[in-house]
Amino acid sequence: MFHPDSPLMKVLTWLSQLVEIQFWWVIGVLRGFIIAGIFPATFAMFATSRSLIRGGETFSIRKKFFESYKQDFKNANLVGYFWLAIEILVVVNFRSSLLLSGTIGTAFFWISYAVVVVWSLVGIYTIPVYSQFDIPLKELFRHVIVVMLSSPIHTLAMFIIFFIISWLIKKSLILLFLIAFAAVCDLIMRIANHRFKKIEKKITR
């Protein structure tokens, strides 16, 4: 039952890793006084999760987290706040569409709604793609859109996971403080990693 390779021990190890990753994420956010820390900490959380999922040599979660935090501090803030600025614009545009009536208003509503959904999905894919591929920042969003559009099943799975965890958080707020963000990150990264492996196989053929 308590053998290192038993299902129970694997689950307990996974949960303990989530707790530790989320702890360092909180420290990283506070270290950057929230505004400058939230995106570097989130990028570092995904990078750490990716390393755990990929396996290989054992490593210190803390060391890996802060190596990524420092290395990607500038890029994470540039990418994160660029995405956030566009997200705010498209949401404001969507809210404005609710004030219109008639055929034009309906058309504008659905177009605005589609833009909000697509750009939100871009946000979900951006960090995993950044963590996986060594590409210039100016080409990042182009690669994100290509991966996203070619992965409808993976995208749907990410949405389902997000809503399930959101529901669980409503039922038990303690999950929010212990593992919620790290769990979302881990599961999204697992789905993205599955897709990335398929892409890598196609490239190496």
Any domain includes 165: yes
pTM summary value: 0.90
Q: What is the pLDDT of residues 116-150, one digit of tens each?
A: 989 998 999 999 999 998 889 999 999 999 999 88
Any domain includes 83: yes
Any domain includes 194: yes
Distances (CA, A) of 168 to 165, 174, 183, 185: 5, 10, 11, 15
Task: Examine the pLDDT at 204 and tell me if it is beyond 70.
Answer: no
Q: What is the mean pLDDT of residues 70-75?
A: 97
Radius of gyration of the chain (CA): 19
Any domain includes 1: no
Looking at the 3D structure of the chain, how many domains does it have?
1
Any domain includes 36: yes
Residue 69 is part of which domain span? 7-204
